[in-house]
């Protein structure tokens, strides 16, 4: 794989309790714009979602938001995006974000971030896609999750190759280098891409 052209970023609709979270989101968005990578995300203007989107836009980059109608007001849809796609359901949102992206990165976030990222990990495990999935750590936020994934392998619920295909780290440069060299060879192709339907 070469450098992704459209990167899906999952992250919190809250800013978190420490300014480092927003600072890293801002830096990540700026780096995406510098590299000419379009942002695909959940469409909100609040929390880390809004921070990373604003940073990409400030750097002259493209931002595509995808948001369900029932969340337009709740998550305060961002009014200044390159493109905002409003869909009917959460399932359609996740599918559309997948269709627009060729890599997936989680910044710190809550249940929604975990739900979206783990769906992409599951789809990769089933062979529905061969795109890179990564967790950009801030202040050790994902340390416990990394340990849990290793435990899943140790207990026989996740294959080592599937676990090794997921990147964890705190270096943006290393992350972008890893995505550019990712080959997706762990995917098992248990079922076909036609299974991904809203």
pLDDT (tens digit per residue) in 90-147: 999 999 999 999 999 999 999 999 999 999 999 998 989 999 999 999 999 999 999 9
Distance CA 56, CA 36 (A): 9
Residue with the larger pLDDT of the pair 183 and 102? 102
Confidence of residue 167 (pLDDT cuts 50, 70, 90): very high
Burial 63-93 (b: 16+ CB within 10 A, else e): bbbbbbeebeeebbbbeebeebbebeebebb
Confidence of residue 73 (pLDDT cuts 50, 70, 90): confident
What is the model's pTM?
0.91
At 87, give phi and psi (nearest 5°).
-115, 175
Please tell me the predicted confidence (pLDDT) of residue 198.
Answer: 52
CA distance 116 to 109: 11
Residue 190 has pLDDT above 60, yes or no: no
| Spatial CA neighbour of 131 closest among 93, 177, 184 | 184
Give the separation between CA 198 and CA 188, rounded to whole angstroms: 22
pLDDT at 189: 46
Residue linked to tokens 């979270």: 21
């Amino acid at each position: 794989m070469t450098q992704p052209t459209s990167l899906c970023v999952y992250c919190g609709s809250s800013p978190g309790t420490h300014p480092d979270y927003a600072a890293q989101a801002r830096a990540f968005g700026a780096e995406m714009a510098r590299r000419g990578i379009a942002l695909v995300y959940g469409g909100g203007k609040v929390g880390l979602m809004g921070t990373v989107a604003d940073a990409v836009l400030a750097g002259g980059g493209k931002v595509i938001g995808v948001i369900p109608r029932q969340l337009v007001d709740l998550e305060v849809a961002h009014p200044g995006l390159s493109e905002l796609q409003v869909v009917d359901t959460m399932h359609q949102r996740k599918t559309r974000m997948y269709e627009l992206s060729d890599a997936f990165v989680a910044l710190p976030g809550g249940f929604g971030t975990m739900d979206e990222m783990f769906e992409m990990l599951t789809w990769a495990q089933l062979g529905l896609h061969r795109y890179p999935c990564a967790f950009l750590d801030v202040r050790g936020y994902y340390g416990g999750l990394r340990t849990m994934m290793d435990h899943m392998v140790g207990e026989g619920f996740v294959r080592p190759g599937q676990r090794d295909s997921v990147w964890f780290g705190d270096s943006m440069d290393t992350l972008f280098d890893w995505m550019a060299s990712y080959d997706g060879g762990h995917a098992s192709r248990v079922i076909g891409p036609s299974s991904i339907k809203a």
